[in-house]
Amino acid sequence: MNDASQDAVDSAAEKQYDLTVAAEELVNELYKYLEQVKNSFQVAVNEIMRLEEQQAIIDNT
């Protein structure tokens, strides 16, 4: 019985490790994608701020 329990624990640990390794690449890809999205939003925010500053300079009188 002890051997069977140990085999089950070992098997579960191995499966968990395999899933972790398989997920690592996908998680890294997701992280890179989210960094790109964040950078795109930052560019957009910077452009909006630039346009707002430019608009404030314009004299409509």
Residuewise pLDDT in 10s, the chain (61 residues) = 788 888 888 899 999 999 999 999 999 999 999 999 999 999 999 999 999 999 888 877 6
Whether this model's pTM surpasses 0.85: no
DSSP E strands in 1-61: the ranges are none
Task: Please tell me what DSSP assigns to residue 30.
Answer: H
Spatial distance between the Cα atoms of 17 and 12, rounded to a whole number of angstroms: 9
Spatial distance between the Cα atoms of 46 and 35, rounded to a whole number of angstroms: 16
Spatial distance between the Cα atoms of 34 and 13, rounded to a whole number of angstroms: 30
